[in-house]
Amino acid sequence: MYAKSFIAHDGNKRLTGATTAQLYPYDRYTCHLCGSSLIFHPEWDTNRPWFEHTREDLTENGRHHCPYVRPEPKEVRRIHMLRRYVPDVLPIVRKADWYCLECNSHYHGERYCLSCHTGDHSIEVTAN
């Protein structure tokens, strides 16, 4: 069960949002974190476009470290509950402030440090 992503790198390695992709589609999208090829779902009906990781196109890093491929256990439990009512609902990746112990760096977004290419050494920084 992979999470929905709403941003990706387009064929020119530029960061693009799913809404932009809906208007100006590229032939190829990759995950901005793990570099796996993504499938774009324009979702014309609901107008809530998104990108999908697929098992076949995962990079080695994505398989082990991408937060979209490995959603938080808490979120996975929430989705299992929700599915009783909304069968095709997918997890969402939480964005927060993180601190990577390995790289000694603060960052905001998904739990994935762009320096060491994993979220394993990152801890959440809370306001108090």
Contact 106, 97 (CB under 8 A): yes
For the CB of residue 99, give the shortest distance to Zn ion in the complex, in Å: 9
Relative to beta strand 96-100, strand 122-124 is antiparallel
For the CB of residue 31, give the shortest distance to Zn ion in the complex, in Å: 3
Quote the CA–CA distance of 55 and 3 in Å, as a whole number: 12
128: tokens are 């108090």
Sign, CA dihedral 109-112-114-115, equals: positive
Kindly identify the residues of this chain, within the stretch 37-66, that bind Zn ion according to CB under 5 A. Answer: 62, 66
Q: Does 7 bind Zn ion (CB under 5 A)?
A: no
For the CB of residue 9, give the shortest distance to Zn ion in the complex, in Å: 10
Q: Does 113 bind Zn ion (CB under 5 A)?
A: yes
Q: Which residues bind Zn ion (CB under 5 A)?
A: 31, 33-34, 36, 62, 66, 68, 100, 102-103, 113, 115-116
